[in-house]
Amino acid sequence: MNVFIILGVLFLALIILIPLLEKSNMRVSEETTAKISKWVWPLMGVILVIGMFKAFM
């Protein structure tokens, strides 16, 4: 039952947030996107290592 509540809340949040984000006209420059994307894979690796460490402890 809790799964359905969580899915319902997430679906409702998407229904509300997507139109708000489209109306906001917030634009991210290509330089900012490049800076952020440079950090994605290293952070994913750190998260993976921490998750494995927690699973084995």
Instruction: Give the tens place of pLDDT for each residue, 7-17.
Output: 999 999 999 99
Alpha-carbon span 7 to 27, nearest angstrom: 29
Structure tokens at 36: 């952020």
Looking at residue 21, its pLDDT comes to: 84
pLDDT value at residue 27: 82
**What distance in Å separates the CA atoms of residue 3 and residue 21, rounded to the nearest whole number?**
26
Structural domain for 44, as ranges = 2-56
At which residue do the structure tokens 């917030």 appear? 26
Number of domains in the chain: 1
For range 3-31, the mean pLDDT:
90
pTM: 0.49
Considering all CA atoms of the chain, what is the largest pairwise distance in Å, rounded to the nearest integer? 46
